[in-house]
Amino acid sequence: MTTKYIFVTGGVLSGVGKGITAASIGALLKARGYKVNIQKCDPYFNFDAGTLNPAEHGEVFVTKDGAETDLDLGHYERFLDIELTQSSSTMSGRIFRQVIEDERAGKYLGKTVQIIPHVTNAMQEAIAEAGKGFDVHIVEVGGTVGDYESTAFIEAIRQFRHQVGAKNTLSVHVVYLPYLTASAEVKSKPAQNAVRDLREAGIQPDILIARTDHPVPNGVLNKLSLFGDVAREAVIALPTVKTVYSVPVILEDAGVGRIVAEHFGLTKKKPNLKNWHNLELKVLSKNNKTVKIGLVAKYLDHQDTYASVIEAIKAACWAEDKKADIKWIDAESLTTKNVASKLKGLDGIVVPGGFGSRGVEGKIVAATHAFKRNIPYLGLCLGMQVACIAAARLSGLHDANSTEFDPKTTSPVIGLMEEQKTLTVIGGTMRLGNYECALEKKSKAAKLYGKTKIEERHRHRYEFSNDYEDALRSQGLTVVGRNPLTGLAEVVEASAKKYFIASQYHPEFNSRPMRPHPLFLGLIRSI
């Protein structure tokens, strides 16, 4: 079967849900038995997402092979229940560097290097390579049509349609319908303009997804169909819903799966959406017991900064017929004097990853409080490091710290790997992607996983120093998971506590709404 390509673009404004839309369409095709892949083409001139500010752009998602990517890849993996690779994240910076390197190597034989055709050709090659071996390859173009940065990607997919044939490509344009309170009406003009911008770039949308926070009259959808030259049945109103996991069902009910299948001439298959219906019922159930989970964090301006962590907590709760009430705790505000009052009433505590010294002492205070009060605790990456520092301080090493935060500490419980001490470049210099971990057979972690050999995704630079194991052990905190090749600590746990487990890796990246991660399940089951 020739690979089919679906291009998802956005108009009016960013953040309207292109990623969720693309992932949901992929879920509908996968439910029909097709082999689906998905890719994000981001117009930023960054090489990858590794150095982007999480407070502005949300979390950095990490693939199994170590790509630092946009958070939309997390949506893709959760909706499609697949593991993506480097090829699913294409930023402009990576493309431009490739073109420059090719020019330096003489690949262009002295020709003038230009956006068209050299940059657009490189973009098309990245898309074609990512789609190899799949029935359908979905490509989301980041940003908004009309952005200067997006122009080359838009031109590349316009050309790509001619390269592989119109019947092998399909354009989905996601727009937004604002609501004017003064006149109590949904306005379609911004969406019309967004469709016009796409058509002026040479791309005619086949499906128009109209995002909205209010009910949309048929007259508005008819107008979008008329002025956008899109078949009326292919103009779909997608309202804001209580859970994004309702979107695949909504799009299927609206006929999107059928429209895509008919456009590509795919064999008519009835989708199996039973799991999605069951998940929706669990998520929306009003009978679930509520559990209060404190998320001790420092990036509080943007909830997407911890998107995968939040979804992992929720997924574990749904699996146990519970509902998560996530309380955001400002790590910078936590002190030994106020920790009891600020964490009062919590059923569990999660300390996620992060970089830099800001808020670290508050996270150490939270870990110490959970340890001493026997409150269920799950530490993720930095959450493990602060747990180790907390235990070391309780053992009498009062200045125990990480050299990241205190280079002069006399008790460097956490420090750089030897080969990293001379690095001067920041991007891409961490332990990234999947690494093996061997769990002790009798550990709580091994029982949760149901096995002793696991692979998990990493994104960190500093490591626990095995010289301080005795200090941890004296407080009942034990290293129960190690990398089999290096001996580096991967998992620590306090077996005498109700639940106190922390991992150097990021288990949230492998959590799925219908297949929650064992460490998050363990936390929720302990409550």
Segments forming the whole domain that contains residue 400: 288-525
Q: How many Å apart are CA 144 and CA 225, to the nearest integer?
A: 20
Among the three residues 235, 261, 279, which one is the final residue of a domain in this structure?
Answer: 279
Structurally, the chain folds into a number of domains equal to 2
pLDDT at 213: 92
Q: How many Å apart are CA 476 and CA 497, to the nearest integer?
A: 9
Do 269 and 304 sit in the same domain of this protein?
A: no
Do 206 and 344 sit in the same domain of this protein?
A: no
pLDDT at 417: 67
Q: How many helices (H) and strands (E) does the chain have?
A: 18, 23
pLDDT at 55: 67
| DSSP output for 228-272 | HT--GGGEEEEE--S-GGGHHHHHHHTTHHHHHHHHHTPPP----
- CB count within 10 Å of CB 231 equals 12
Do 334 and 357 sit in the same domain of this protein?
A: yes
Question: Over 32-53, what HEC string results?
Answer: CCCCEEEEEEECCCCCCCCCCC
| Tokens linked to 123 | 């973009």
pLDDT at 302: 76
Do 40 and 168 sit in the same domain of this protein?
A: yes
Do 426 and 444 sit in the same domain of this protein?
A: yes
Do 195 and 334 sit in the same domain of this protein?
A: no
Q: Smallest Cα–Cα separation from 375: which of 419, 342, 417, 408?
A: 342
Question: Over 433-486, what HEC string results?
Answer: EEEEEEECCCCHHHHHHCCCEEEEEEEECEEECHHHHHHHHCCCCEEEEECCCC
Which of 317, 381, 388, 437 is the catalytic position? 381
Which of 77, 404, 490, 508 is the catalytic position? 508
Query: Are the beta carbons of 74 and 61 closer than 8 angstroms?
Result: yes
Do 275 and 292 sit in the same domain of this protein?
A: no
- Whether 506 sits among the annotated catalytic residues: the reply is yes
- Which residues of the chain fall short of a pLDDT of 70? 55, 417-429
Do 309 and 443 sit in the same domain of this protein?
A: yes
CATH number where 352 lies: 3.40.50.880
Handedness of CA 517, 37, 129, 209 (dihedral sign): negative
Among the three residues 279, 313, 332, which one is the final residue of a domain in this structure?
Answer: 279
pLDDT at 301: 77
- Whether 381 sits among the annotated catalytic residues: the reply is yes
CATH number where 14 lies: 3.40.50.300
Angle between helices 92-104 and 120-131 (to 10 degrees): 110
Do 103 and 203 sit in the same domain of this protein?
A: yes
Do 295 and 264 sit in the same domain of this protein?
A: no
pLDDT at 424: 46
Q: How many Å apart are CA 482 and CA 469, to the nearest integer?
A: 13
Q: Smallest Cα–Cα separation from 32: which of 319, 246, 259, 233?
A: 259
pLDDT at 425: 47
pLDDT at 287: 85
Do 427 and 313 sit in the same domain of this protein?
A: yes
N residues, the chain:
527
- Whether 262 sits among the annotated catalytic residues: the reply is no
Among the three residues 255, 279, 303, which one is the final residue of a domain in this structure?
Answer: 279
Do 265 and 332 sit in the same domain of this protein?
A: no
The alpha-carbon radius of gyration of the chain (Å, integer) is 25
Which of 75, 173, 263, 506 is the catalytic position? 506
The whole-model pTM stands at 0.94
pLDDT at 273: 96
pLDDT at 300: 84
Q: Smallest Cα–Cα separation from 382: which of 310, 312, 458?
A: 458
